[in-house]
Amino acid sequence: MVKNTEINLSTLAKDLKRATSDAVVIGVGQGPDGPVLLGNPLTAKSAEALTESLKALGITGAADQAIRLPGLPETGAGVLVLAGVGKVAVGQQLSEEALRRAAGSAVRQLAGLPTVVLAFPTAGVADVAAVAEGAALGAYAFTEHRSSSDGLKDPVRNAVIYTDVPASDELSAALKRAGLIGQAVNATRSLVNQPPSHLFPESFAEAAKDLAKGLPVKVTVWDEKRLEKEGFGGIMGVGKGSSRQPRLVKVEYAPAKATRKIALVGKGITFDTGGISLKPALGMGDMKSDMAGAAVVLNTVLAIARLGLPVKATAWLCIAENMPGGGASRPADVLTMFGGKTVEVLNTDAEGRLVMADGIVAASREYPDAIIDVATLTGAQLIALGNRTAGVMGSDSVTGPLKAAADRAGELVWPMPLPEELRPTIDSQVADLANIGERHGGMMTAAVFLREFVGKGKDGEQIPWAHIDIAGPSFNNGTPYGYTHKQATGCTVRTLVAYVEDVLAAV
C-alpha cells in the first residue's frame, strides 16, 4: 500500500564537476543590508559577480526562495540555484534547522531533476546531517492514485552534499540516519495521505505488516472478535458504527541488549465523521488524517529498529473508523473500557480519547519506563497553538526531554499544563468518567482524561507519561514550506526518535 519515496545521499569534497549533477544549489541569506551570498564552492570571480547581481535579479534570501540561473562552467551543471535561507547575522553560523529547511525547500522545488548538489556552508557533521535530512524530507511525492503521470515531476533521486567536512565513520552514520529518518517520515506521510476508501482498519493493519517486513519486529493484530472478547470497550465502542471493523495493532521491537523500555500509543481513526455527533461537512475530508498518531508511532518504532537502537520500543495502534451507522455509540451510552473503567459518552466526536484509553491501559500492563501517546486529538489544540506547534502534556520527567528532543530535531512542540480544576469537569453522573468536560482548555481536558488510564509501574507509582496533540501540525492545508509538503507532514517522528536517542545517551 505504501509506495515510499527515498533519496540517495552522498557527499563531495572537491571538484563539483565530479558530481555530474543537474543543478547546484548555493545559499543566500537576508542580511541587515540586503541579500548575502553564503559560503560556496564557486571561484572568487564568479562569487563576486553573483554578489553584485543579487538585487538586480530580485534575490532577497528569504526562506523558500529558489531562483534558477544558467549554470556556470565550473559547476558542471546546467542550472545554478540560489536558495534563500532566511535572516542571517554577520559572523553567525546557520542553525541546523535553517540548513534543514533550506535544503528541503530546494529539493522540493527542484522535483523533476534527478541529481542535485547542495552546497550550503557546513561546519561539521551535524550540519551535513541537517542538509541531508532536509533533502530526504523534501524529496517526497504522493502520486499512487493518479491515472497518468502527465504533468507530474518525480522527486529528486540523488542529493550530493558539497562539504569540507572530512569523510569518517561518524559522517557515514549521520548520512545513514538522515536517510532512515526521511524514509520513516515519508512513510508516515503516505499513510496519512491515503484516501479513506483505501485506508481503513483492516488495510491499515496489513500496511503495518508490510512496512515491518524484513525488520526484527513482531506485529500482533487484534480483530473485532478478539477485541470484544478481551474487553476493549473504547475501540469497539467507537468502531462498531462502521461496516469496517476496528483493529488494535501491536508492533514490538525487543533487541536482546535493550537498556530501556518505551511504549508509544497512537490514535488511528481512519476516518472521523464524528459519529452520531456528526461533524459539519465543510472540511470533513481532512478527517482522513485522523490516524496520523498511529502512523507516527508505527514508523517511529520501525525507524528505531532500522537504527538498531538498544531500546525495547512498542507501538500500539488503536484503529477504528468513526461512522454514524446503525450500531454506532449514542450520546449517553456507557462504555466499559479495557481494564474495567466506565465512560459515559456525551459526545461521539470525542472518540479519539476512547480508543487511546484502551491502548494506554494495554501499554501500562507491560510496565514500560515511559508511555508517550500521539494523537490528532482536539480542535482546541489549533486554537491554543496554531497549525504548526504540537502541544505536549504529562509528567515533567517526560515532557521536558520531549521538548528538548523536539528542539534538536527541528520540530515545534510546546509544553502545556494540566490544571487540577479540569479533572472534576469530566465527572459523570452515571459512570466513572465522561468523555468530555469543560469546553475551554479542551486540549488539556482531553489529556486529563487520558491520564486517568495510565497505569502504575512495579514501584506502585504512575508510569511516567506524556501526551502529544498533533491535530494542527500533522496536516498542512496551506502552501508548502521548507521540507514540508501539502497535506500530511509526518511530524513528531523525528522528535520521538531523538527522544529515544537522548534517553539512551543518559543511561
Q: Cell digits for 267?
A: 490514535
CB-CB contact of 317 with 248 (8 Å) = yes
* Average pLDDT over every residue of 442-455: 98
Residue 353 annotated to the active site = yes
Of these residues, 68, 157, 279, 486, which one is catalytic? 279
pLDDT tens digits, one per residue of 366-400: 999 999 999 999 999 999 999 999 999 999 999 99
Q: Is the pLDDT of residue 90 over 90?
A: no
Alpha-carbon distance of 245 to 157, in angstroms, equals 39
Alpha-carbon distance of 490 to 119, in angstroms, equals 26
Q: Is the pLDDT of residue 99 over 70?
A: yes
Alpha-carbon distance of 441 to 433, in angstroms, equals 18
- Residue 486 has what DSSP assignment? S
CB-CB contact of 376 with 356 (8 Å) = no
For residue 466, what are the CA distances in angstroms to 22, 270, 369, 403?
A: 45, 23, 12, 11
Element (H, E) at 81: strand 79-87
Using the CB atoms, write b or e for 314-347: b if 16+ within 10 Å: bbbbbbbbbbbeeebbeeebbbbbbbebebbbbe
Identify the residue whose cell numbers are 450520546.
331
Query: pLDDT band for position 15 (50/70/90)?
Result: confident
Give every CB contact of residue 162 below 8 A, 6+ residues apart in sequence.
Answer: 11, 12, 13, 16, 19, 24, 41, 117, 118, 119
Q: Residue 1's pLDDT is what? A: 66
Q: Is the pLDDT of residue 4 over 80?
A: no
3-state SS string over 339-364?
CCCEEEECCCCCCHHHHHHHHHHHHH
pLDDT tens digits, one per residue of 182-211: 999 999 999 999 999 999 999 999 999 999
What the chain holds in terms of domains, given with CATH numbers, is 8-165 (3.40.220.10), 188-505 (3.40.630.10)
Q: Is the pLDDT of residue 464 over 80?
A: yes
Q: Cell digits for 219?
A: 506485529
pLDDT tens digits, one per residue of 50-63: 999 999 999 999 99
Residues in the chain: 507
Identify the residue whose cell numbers are 534517553.
503
Alpha-carbon distance of 245 to 228, in angstroms, equals 11
Element (H, E) at 299: helix 292-307
* Average pLDDT over every residue of 321-336: 98
Q: Is the pLDDT of residue 343 over 80?
A: yes
Of these residues, 101, 247, 312, 353, which one is catalytic? 353
Contacts made by residues 109-114, CB under 8 angstroms, sequence distance 24+: 109/66, 110/23, 110/25, 110/66, 110/81, 110/156, 111/139, 111/141, 111/153, 111/154, 111/155, 111/156, 112/153, 112/154, 113/22, 113/23, 113/79, 113/156, 114/22, 114/154, 114/156, 114/157, 114/158
Identify the residue whose cell numbers are 555530474.
20
Query: pLDDT band for position 409 (50/70/90)?
Result: very high
37 CB burial (10 A radius; 0-12, 13-18, 19+): buried
* Average pLDDT over every residue of 96-122: 98
Percentage of the chain modeled with pLDDT above 70: 100
Query: pLDDT band for position 449 (50/70/90)?
Result: very high
* Average pLDDT over every residue of 75-86: 96
Residue 279 annotated to the active site = yes
Q: Residue 325's pLDDT is what? A: 96
